Amino acid sequence: MSGAEAFVPTPLLLSDSARKRISALMAEENNTALKLRVYVTGGGCSGFQYGFDFAESVAEDDTLIEFGDATLVVDPLSYQYLVGSTVDYEEGLAGARFRIQNPNATTTCGCGASFMV
């Protein structure tokens, strides 16, 4: 007889480079209350697109995920599409940006800003 297996979704992860960038932005703004809001909206060339914003306030139903001095904020609708993803920050010839590495995405666009599940 086999027992039931529990499944606990992996929360969002934050790369070291993203954590350092969030901390640097908090220092630049002299505001330790800043949090990185990560969200998903409809649109983009693959169906959904990622969005990022800095926020001080959070809604009652938002999820807060803390990584030392850096905190991610995710609304309940977006969270379901982002479970298990890693928020990263990269600087290169195309500029600097936060980006999502999403294991749930079945298709992504060339720039990685939109996806389909």
- Give the residue numbers of the binding site: 45, 109, 111
- Give the residue numbers of the binding site for iron-sulfur cluster: 45, 109, 111
For the stretch 25-41, what's the b/e string if a residue is b when 16 or more beta carbons lie within 10 angstroms of its beta carbon?
ebeeeeeeebbbbbbbe
Q: Cα–Cα distance between 102 and 108 in angstroms, integer?
A: 9
Neighbours of 16 (CB within 10 A): 10
Q: Cα–Cα distance between 86 and 10 in angstroms, integer?
A: 10
